Amino acid sequence: MSEEILLDEKIICEEFDCVWEKPETLTENKMHYCPGCGHGVVHKILMEVIEEMNLQSETIGVAPVGCSVFAYNYMNVDMQGAAHGRAAAVATGIKRMLPNKIVFSYQGDGDLAAIGTAETIHTANRGENILVIFINNAIYGMTGGQMAPTTILGMKTSTTPFGREATSQGFPFKITDLIAQLPATHFVTRQSVHTPNAVRYCKKAIQKAIKYQKENKGYCLIEVVSNCPSGWKMTPLVSNKWMEENMFPQYPIGDLKDNGILITKKEFTK
C-alpha cells in the first residue's frame, strides 16, 4: 500500500468517527476469492477475534487444499499447509506438541467431508482441543463446480447436470449433525455470513469456540453455510437468496451442541 493511501486513511480516521479498521492480523494482500464469496468475510471476523483476544502470536492455523488453500497469504498468524483432507490430523499434531497455542483448521466441504472424512470424524471422536472452521457451499468451487458431499438434492453441478439424485448420488452428507452426536465434542454450531446480523452471530461463535479452547474444553466445530456465486452461476444477491430458500432448510442455522450438551431446537435467527 502506498504512503499516499495510508496518509489518506489516517486523515479520514482523524476527521471522522472510525467504525472499523483492518486488523493487523490480516495482511495487505488482495484476496483471490470471487466477488460475493463468504470466505473473505469469515477470514475477516476470524482475524478480528484473534486480534481482539490478543492471540496473534499464540495462534496457529492449518489450511489444506480447496478455495482457501492460500489462506496463509491473508491471515497474519503462523500458518501450516496440509495435504488435501488432512488438516484435522495436522492440527492434532500441532496442538499436542504445542498445547498452549490456539490451533484452528480452515476447511471446505470437499476437503472436510469427502477426502478428509476419516480425519474429521476421528479427530472429533477423540475430542481434540482444536477449532475447526468448515465452509459449506455445497459444491467444489475451486476445481470446476462438481458435486460435493454437501450438495443438496436437485442441485445442478457440473457432474450432476440434471440435479443430484438420491438413488444414484446419495443424500447430502450432514457431517456437522453427525459430529454433534459424538460424546467428545464440546461446541458444534452452524452459522452464515450473508447478512450483517449473521456476521455478528458467526463472530460470537468464533469468540466462544476460542474461549473454550483456552479453557481446554475440547473439540469445537463451526460450520459456515456459504454461497458460491461462481460455482452456482448466480450473482451474489441471487445466490444469497437461493441459499436462504434452499440451503438453510437442509442445513438449519443455529447451535447444535454447547458445553457438551445437544440442543434439539433449531431456529432460523438470520
CATH number at residue 31: 3.40.50.970
Instruction: Confirm whether 72 is domain-assigned.
Output: yes
CA distance 113 to 223: 11
Instruction: Confirm whether 122 is domain-assigned.
Output: yes
CA distance 61 to 82: 10
Domain that holds residue 91: 23-262
pLDDT single digits (tens) 177-236: 999 999 999 999 999 999 999 999 999 999 999 999 999 999 999 999 999 999 999 999
Instruction: Confirm whether 4 is domain-assigned.
Output: no
73-102 mean pLDDT: 98
CA distance 33 to 39: 7
pLDDT at 13: 59
Instruction: Confirm whether 37 is domain-assigned.
Output: yes
pLDDT at 268: 45
Q: What is the pTM of this model?
A: 0.91
- Using the 8-state DSSP alphabet, how is residue 240 labeled? H
Q: How confident is the model at residue 144 (pLDDT cuts 50, 70, 90)?
A: confident
213-243 burial: b if 16+ Cβ within 10 Å, else e = beeebbbbbbbbbbbbbbbbebebeebbeeb
Number of domains forming the structure of the chain: 1
CA distance 265 to 192: 18
80-100 mean pLDDT: 97
pLDDT at 72: 95
* Cα-trace Rg, the chain: 18
Instruction: Confirm whether 193 is domain-assigned.
Output: yes
Instruction: Confirm whether 133 is domain-assigned.
Output: yes
Query: Would the pLDDT of 18 be above 90?
Result: no
Q: How confident is the model at residue 14 (pLDDT cuts 50, 70, 90)?
A: low
Instruction: Confirm whether 13 is domain-assigned.
Output: no
Instruction: Confirm whether 17 is domain-assigned.
Output: no
Give me the percent of the chain exceeding a pLDDT of 70: 92
pLDDT at 63: 96
